[in-house]
Structure 1
Amino acid sequence: MKRKSFEGNLCAIARALDSIGDWWSLLIIRDATAGVGRFSEFQRSLGIPKNILSGRLKSMVEQGIMEIVPASDGSAYQEYTLTEKGEALLPVLVALGQWGGEYLYESKELGSLPLDARKKRPLKKLELRSEDGRLLQPKDVLVSRVITMN
C-alpha cells in the first residue's frame, strides 16, 4: 500500500511524519545516536531487510538528517552519521522512550531507559514549558497555524 505524502501540509507534525514517521527511520536514528554507523551494523542491530535499510538511509541522507563520512577507523569503508538536523531528533526519541516506558511496560518488566551519559542516571521527564517558564499541561497547549520565520 502506497503511503500518502504530507509534503507541503500546513501541519508541522504531518511534515515530520512524512520525513521520519516510519518505525525503521526512528530506530536507525536511535542506533546512530548510540554510535552505530556502518550499514552492516545497522542491519545486524535492527534485523532490517537490506533493501529497506538502504532506502531509509538514502532518504535520510537526501533530507540532510544523516551524512556519509569516511570510516572512523581509517578503513576504506564509509559510515553514516547524524547531522545537526538528525541530532535535533534526540528529544523526540527521548519523549517516545519515556512515554513507552511509562505506558507500555508491566511493573518490574525489563526495558531500556535513556540515561545521562556522564552520571549514568535517568533523565528527568521531558516537560512542556511556556516561553515564560510556566509548566504546561495538555489543556494549556493550542496548536495554531502561523507563518514560520526560517
Structure 2
Amino acid sequence: MKRTPFADWPCSIARSVDLLGDWWTPLVLREAFYGTRRFDDIQRNLRIGRNILTQRLKRLVEEGMLERVPYQERPQRYEYVLTEKGRDFFPVLAAMMHWGDKWLSPDGPPINLRHHDHDTHAEVVCAECREPLDLRDVSATLGPGFPERLRSRPDVAERFPDDSSMDQDSEIKPPPE
C-alpha cells in the first residue's frame, strides 16, 4: 500500500507525521537523546534491521535532525549527532513518554528523566501565561502560514472561525470532550 505524503499539507502535525510517522524514526531519535551515536550501537539497542536503520538515519540527516560526523577513517565510520533541529524534538518525545507513563505503564515509568538533581516529566504549558495546556481551554485559528487559496473554503471557515471578527463578549467554543 502506498503511503499518503503529508509534507505539503497546511498542518504542522501532518508535516511532522510525514517526517516522523513510522515507528522506528522516533526510536532512533530516542537513542540519540540517550547519547547513542554509532550505527552498530543504535542497531543493537533497537534490534532493527540494518537496511531499515540505514534508511531512517539517511532521512534524519537529509532533514537536518542528525549530522553525520566521521570518527574513523579506515574503514570510514560515522557518528550521528543531534542538530539543533533534532534537539528541539526532545520535548515532543518527553511528552510522549509522560503520556505513555500515565496511560500505558501500570507498574510505573520504565525510565525516569532527571533534570539536574531531581526526577521530572514533560508538561506542555502556554508560552504566554505558563499555565498547563488543557484541550478544554484551547482553540485553533488559522495562522499566517495557512494557504490563502484555502481560507475561503466553507469547511475551513467552519473548522477554524476567524477570531478577529468576534466581539469581546463572544468566545470560541472548545471541542467537545
| TM-score with structure 2 setting the length | 0.74
CA gap of 1:124–1:97, structure 2 versus 1, over 3 A, is: closer
SS at match of 1:69: strand
- Aligned equivalents of 2:80, 2:133: Cα separation in 1: 37
- Residue 100 of structure 1: aligned partner: 100
- Residue 138 of structure 1: aligned partner: 135
Q: Aligned-pair RMSD on alpha carbons?
A: 1.6
Q: Contact between 1:97 and 1:113, CA under 8 Å: does it hold in 2?
A: no
Deviation at 1:110, TM superposition (A): 6.2
1:1-150 correspondence runs (5 A): 1-71=1-71, 75-76=72-73, 77-106=77-106, 108-109=107-108, 111-116=110-115, 118-119=116-117, 121-148=118-145
| TM-score with structure 1 setting the length | 0.86
- Aligned equivalents of 1:57, 1:38: Cα separation in 2: 11
- For structure 1, list consecutive stretches of 5 or more residues without a partner in the other structure: none
Q: How many residues align?
A: 142
More strand by share: 2
CA gap of 1:125–1:93, structure 2 versus 1, over 3 A, is: closer
Report % sequence identity. 37
The structure with the larger Rg is 2
Q: Which amino acid counterpart does residue 34 of structure 1 have in structure 2?
A: Y
- Aligned equivalents of 2:99, 2:69: Cα separation in 1: 33
Deviation at 1:145, TM superposition (A): 2.4
- For structure 2, list consecutive stretches of 5 or more residues without a partner in the other structure: 146-177
Larger mean CA deviation between 133-142 and 62-71 belongs to 133-142
CA gap of 1:127–1:22, structure 2 versus 1, over 3 A, is: same
SS at match of 1:115: strand
